């Protein structure tokens, strides 16, 4: 370059003529500073988030690798220096239900009533029967014969028959439910026949029941006409055998 070269003079002239735009320069500086602040903020918050994501992935992977398998029981902890004793002031951890000994499990005791067996039906005959003669009530009241039946079990079929000779019928009744019986009184060959029949589908409950035949003595006959009276009782319970009892008054 020679002293006659005009380039330096031009550069110097341009430099002296140049007027810098201060507002534009400050705008670029502020924009650069804002970009730097955002980058620092991202770096400051992004690192923990990335670290947390990595830890979560490691935790899931580690559990799949070293976690307990299905059906396997976890190993029992070995007592050591850090074990908590029952008397420790920090409290006693609740026991694992799977590790509780079988003999310590409390089960409710059976109720005494559960061990009781169902009551057995009374033994002995189905019925017992006795015949009694009522006192004479004179000419107008007459006499009566009573058949007393004691049932030990429910009776599903029952027929009570009373026969009295040389008399006239005056009535018949029973202490059992009257609506459960068909009562019939008729005369045949010089004797009265009183019949009490338990209706089909009805049941005579266990207990003592009386069946009465009321009659009037004919004139000229022995007032002790009860000696000519007799009875018969036929009873059955369910599908069991029939029980028959006969007697005289």
The answer to whether position 59 is within a domain reads: no
pLDDT of residue 167: 84
d(CA 50, CA 62): 18
Sheet holding 230-236, edge to edge: 181-188, 191-198, 157-165, 230-236, 243-248
Structural domain boundaries enclosing 227: 127-248
Residues making up the chain, counted from first to last:
249
Based on the structure, what is the number of domains in the chain? 1
Is 170's pLDDT higher than 70?
yes
CATH label of the domain that carries residue 151: 2.60.40.740
Model confidence at 17, pLDDT cuts 50, 70, 90, reads: confident
Asked, for residue 63, whether it belongs to a domain, the answer is no
Task: Write the pLDDT tens digit of every residue in 83-102.
Answer: 444 444 455 555 555 555 55
Most confident of 88-97, 104-113, 192-201: 192-201
Q: Is residue 235 part of a domain?
A: yes
Establish if 5 belongs to a structural domain. Answer: no
Please report whether residue 193 resides in a domain. Answer: yes
Residues with Cβ within 8 Å of 107's Cβ and at least 6 positions away in sequence, in order, are none
- Residue 114: inside a domain: no
Within-domain flag for 156: yes
Q: Is 67 inside any structural domain?
A: no
User: pLDDT value at position 213?
Assistant: 96
């Amino acid at each position: 370059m020679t002293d006659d070269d005009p380039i330096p003079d031009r550069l110097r002239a341009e430099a002296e003529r140049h007027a810098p735009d201060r507002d534009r320069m400050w705008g670029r500086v502020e924009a650069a500073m804002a970009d730097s602040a955002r980058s620092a903020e991202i770096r400051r918050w992004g690192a923990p988030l990335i670290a947390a994501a990595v830890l979560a992935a490691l935790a899931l992977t580690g559990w799949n690798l070293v976690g307990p398998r299905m059906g396997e029981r976890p190993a029992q902890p070995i007592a050591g220096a850090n074990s908590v004793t029952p008397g420790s002031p920090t409290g006693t951890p609740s026991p694992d239900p799977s590790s509780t000994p079988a003999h310590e499990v409390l089960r409710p005791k059976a109720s005494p009533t559960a061990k009781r067996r169902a009551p057995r039906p009374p033994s002995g005959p189905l019925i017992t029967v006795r015949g009694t003669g009522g006192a004479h009530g004179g000419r107008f009241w007459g006499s009566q014969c009573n058949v007393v039946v004691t049932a030990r079990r429910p009776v599903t079929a029952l027929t009570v028959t009373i026969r009295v000779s040389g008399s006239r019928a005056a009535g018949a009744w029973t202490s059992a439910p009257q609506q459960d019986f068909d009562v019939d009184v008729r005369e045949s060959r010089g004797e009265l026949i009183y019949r009490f029949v338990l209706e089909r589908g009805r049941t005579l409950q266990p207990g003592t029941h009386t069946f009465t035949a009321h009659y009037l003595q004919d004139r000229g006959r022995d007032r002790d006409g009860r000696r000519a009276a007799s009875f018969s009782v036929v009873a059955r319970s369910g599908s069991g055998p029939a029980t028959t009892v006969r007697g005289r008054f």
